[in-house]
Amino acid sequence: MEHTFWHDKWEKGEIGFHQSDIHPMLLKFADQLGLNEPCRVFVPLCGKSNDMTFLLERGCEVVGIELSKLAVTQYFEGLGVTPTIETCGHLERYSAPDITLYCGDFFALTPEQLGSVDVVYDRAALVALPEDMRAQYGQRICGLAPRARQLLITFEYDQSAIAGPPFAISTLEIEHHYGKYCDIEMLASESLEGGLKGKVPALEKAWLLKGLG
């Protein structure tokens, strides 16, 4: 999916994917992720998600990456914090106490830039990618955080009924993309109230992935 697609969404304010409330799956499974102890959490394609603020309030250190500079700057404005901004390879790094957000292409992020993380929280990354990018993403995220626990949120619905994103992702696809790198456990499968985008019945699923690295 072209970068311009997401830049246009943010510039036009077409960000229905942004949720002001903390995601209920994150609240429900925080303890299973180990968030009851101080840990370092990676949030790929983080946008300006308030879930990151929830993680900070739990005592976590947060590292995110986001394509849109507008999203990153709006997040820090909402936090009431002025970040330090530095060029870091092909990315820009926005940092403040306990939080670092990289701005740029997810696939440009290196293990050295990310550092060691205990948890990956993926609410909006895998589901934002078209099918031809998802295998590469799964391999990359597990390479960046080979030992981490991951909370992955996906949707299952009739993809022919509406266009993504968010895209429909089957259980078989999860096993295909992550099975070589992680133990996989489905934590929840719930009907999405009102359907996806109010148009099609959908299941929202939560997965716990435990890195084998």
pLDDT tops 50 at residue 92 = yes
pLDDT tops 60 at residue 14 = no
Question: Does 12 map to a domain?
Answer: no
Regarding whether 134 and 179 lie in a shared domain, the answer is: yes
Quote the number of domains for the chain: 2
Which has the closest alpha carbon to 41: 122, 153, 106, 103? 122
Could you tell me if 50 and 21 are in contact, meaning their C-beta atoms sit under 8 angstroms apart?
A: yes
Regarding whether 154 and 109 lie in a shared domain, the answer is: no
Regarding whether 211 and 179 lie in a shared domain, the answer is: yes
**What's the domain range around 98?**
38-117
Query: Taking the CB of residue 198, how many other CB atoms lie within 10 A of it?
Result: 8
Decide which of 117, 133, 150 is a domain's last residue: 117
Max CA separation in the chain (angstroms): 45
Residue 40: both structure tokens together: 């370092």
Q: Which residue has the tokens 């060029």?
A: 87
User: Tell me: the pLDDT tens digits for 132-181?
Assistant: 999 999 999 999 999 999 999 999 999 999 998 999 999 999 999 999 99
* Angstrom distance (rounded) from CA 125 to CA 145: 15
Decide which of 117, 142, 161 is a domain's last residue: 117
Regarding whether 204 and 136 lie in a shared domain, the answer is: yes
CATH number of 150's domain? 3.40.50.150
Residue 48: both structure tokens together: 């300006």
Tell me the binding residues for S-adenosyl-L-methionine.
10, 45, 66, 123
pLDDT tops 70 at residue 56 = yes
6 or 195, which is more confident: 195
Per-residue confidence (pLDDT) for residue 16, from 0 to 100: 55
Tell me the binding residues.
10, 45, 66, 123
Q: What angle do CA 18, 21, 25 make, to 5 degrees?
A: 95
Rounded to the nearest integer, the mean pLDDT of the chain is: 93
Regarding whether 144 and 161 lie in a shared domain, the answer is: yes
C-alpha 47, offset from chain centre: 9
- pLDDT bin (cut points 50, 70, 90) of residue 18 is very low
Question: Does 99 map to a domain?
Answer: yes
pTM of the model: 0.94
Per-residue confidence (pLDDT) for residue 167, from 0 to 100: 96
